[in-house]
Every structure is written in C-alpha cells, then in structure tokens.
Amino acid sequence: MTGRASFAHAQTAVIIGWYIASLLLIGVLAAVPVYLQLPGQVLSQAFYYACIAAALYFILASMMVVTAWGVYRGHFSNKFKLTMSQRSLMVQTMSFLGYILAGAAVYSRVEGWNFLDAVYFTDVTVLTIGFGDFSPKTHLGRSLVFPMAAGGVLFLGLIVSSISALVLEAATTKITLRMVEKEREKVIKKAAHKYEGTGLRSGQTNSSGSIDSAELKIREQEFNLMRKVQKRAANNNRIIALSVSGGATCILWFVGAVAFWQAEMGAGNWSYFESVYFTYISLLTIGYGDFSPANNSSKPAFVFWSLITLPTLTILIGAIGNQIAETLGTMTLWISEHMPEKGPLAALTRRRRAMTAHIKAPNLRDSCPMAAKKPAKAISTMRPLLLALKA
C-alpha cells in the first residue's frame, strides 16, 4: 500500500497471518464445548462473535489468494496502491466500528450491562432501529443518547456516501466505457462492408485549406450518434446497478431470515414467516419491538447482519432514485418537445427551447476517450456508425 515492501512479500505475509488467525480461532472454538463442560451447552455471545471472526478471516485470506493468483497469471497489476477515496473509506469504516465499541464500553459501565449487550444496544441505536428490549434507565445514560445517536447517524451517512461515490460511481464509469466500446465495435463490424468504397475521409478540406461544410455536417452527425450510443450504455448501466443492489438486498433479507429463524427456534420459537417479517422491519429501520433477538447466537448475528444490510439498502434506494429521476427527466423532455405551438403550454415550450438553444454541443473529445489522443482515428472509426444508422 505504501510501496515499502514488495507485493510478493507483503501479500504472502498477510495471507499467512489471516490463515493462522482463522485456524487458531477455529481450534479454540472446537475446544470450548469439550473442555469447559458448560451446563446445557449454553454458549455466550463471545463464542458466536469468534465464529463470525474466524469465518471472515478465512474468507479474506482466500480472496487474497485469488488476487495473488491473478497477479501471478498477469490478470492484475502487482503495483497496488490505495487512492485517497479508498483510504478515506477505510478510515471512516474503522472509525465507525471504533465509535460503536467506545459507546458500548461507556454504556456497559453506566448502565451496568454486559459489554456485548451494550454493543448490541449501540448498534440498534446508531442504525435507528430501536427495538426497545434495551434502553437506558439512568439519567446519565439517557443524556448520552443525544450525542451518541447523532454522531452515529452522521458516521453512517458519511460511510454510505463514500461507498456510493467510490464503489458505484467508479464501477459504473468502467462499465459504461466498456459498453460504449462494445457498442461501437459491434456497429463498426456490421457496417464495415458498407463503409468500403464510400470515398469518405476524415479531415477532408477544400482548396483554401479549411474543413468542408459537408465534412463538418458529417462530424456533427457522428458526434450525435456517439452520444446516442453513450446514452444507451448509461441506461443499461443504471439497470445493472439497480439489479445488483436489489439482488444483494433481497439475498441479505431472506438469508438473514433463515439465520434468525434457526437462531430463535429455541428461545423465541419463531416461524420462518415471523423471521422474514422481523428482518423486513429491521431492514427498513421501523423496529416495532414485537420481535427482537433474545438468544446469545441471534444478537451477534444481528449486529453483523445489520452493519452489512443497512448500507446495502441505502445504496439500493439511491439507485432507485437515480432511475426514477432519469425516467422523469426523459418524460419531461419528451412532453416539452411534443407540446403544441399554440395553447396554454406554448409559452412554457418556447421558454424551454430558448433556454436550450444556446447550449453548445461538447467537443468530440469529451464523449470519446480515444478522441483526446487520436482525433482523426476516432472520427474515422465512428463514421461507420453513421453509415449503419442511415442504413
């Protein structure tokens, strides 16, 4: 990350460290029920937190093995450095988890709770769920809710904003460029035989050395066609982002329902539908309080599940909002362009056209990355797009 150690040495050390930590935890967890002889095999919340940690260590180490294999095969670069946005997201996430643990330490002392119960209370409070199974009883504890809840909500909003800006926007930019390139290549191959023998040349000039008016018109049409391809790719990209976030939210919803159904089968005796209802109420941060985790296994599971699911739902809501805004904007433009010239809405139509008439179309280099380096090649490769559209 800082470049002080080679990728091979750093990656190998980290992978070995994660695997060792995972195996040590698994060994301890396997020995606990055998050597402690707990009455009725009642395991504490710490046991289940350790199970979650061991699983995460093993998954992260395995993912890093896949990354190292990709670097070895030449699929990834071995010079990996975090950008400032990635560093900021990492610091924000660690600070948010530290904030929850610090709040739990304070409330475990003020209210006399078990520390892990205080972690559960802090998580439910910061995520604005509020089941009501844990609430401060002392005057000091109730007073500390004011700054703790406000700070936690601000932390969570900052993290969700960073995730949306870093993960979604960066990914959508790459996907959009890839889709544009695929669409361009597809149309070029389709129109290759029509382009041959047309006599069109990029950069055509007249005897005075200036660009011919017909050539300018062709360039303008090429630019408009490229904008259509980009718009189509952006629309497909929004649909993909909406589908991925929606699918992830549904998976977390129903898989979480299965986990809580099994965890509460002994204490609360929940049915699967009641578990689905509970996860839905928690997912939308409603928190009626008629169902809440009561088992030592369900509380750690809920803390882990909620910290993943709530940001995912927020990203889904943002994707839905972007799609609705784009749809409404398209509908508004279509209605304004098809309004009659006479009537009560004619003035609004003329005003809209007057506002957009002076807008100058951006340069070709702004819509095609290749055009910034090789404008002549970009124009010549896009001309078959125009021919295909005309055909």
- What's residue 65's pLDDT? 93
- What's residue 251's pLDDT? 95
- What's residue 143's pLDDT? 95
SS3 38: coil
Each residue's pLDDT tens digit, 208-253: 545 556 667 666 766 777 777 777 777 777 788 788 889 999 999 9
**Which residues, given as ranges, of the chain have pLDDT below 50?**
195, 198-206, 209, 357-380, 382-391
Question: Which distant-in-sequence residues (6+ apart) come within 8 Å of 122 by Cβ?
Answer: 100, 103, 104, 107, 148, 152
Domain ranges within the chain, ordered by starting residue: 1-81, 174-205+215-390
Burial class (CB in 10 A: 0-12, 13-18, 19+), 72: exposed
Break the chain down into helix, strand, coil percent, rounded to 5. Answer: 75, 0, 25
- What's residue 98's pLDDT? 94
pTM: 0.74
- What's residue 44's pLDDT? 87
Q: What are phi and psi of 44, to 5 degrees?
A: -80, 170
Question: Which distant-in-sequence residues (6+ apart) come within 8 Å of 340 by Cβ?
Answer: 346, 349
Contact 304, 123 (CB under 8 A): no
- What's residue 332's pLDDT? 82
Class of domain 174-205+215-390: mainly alpha
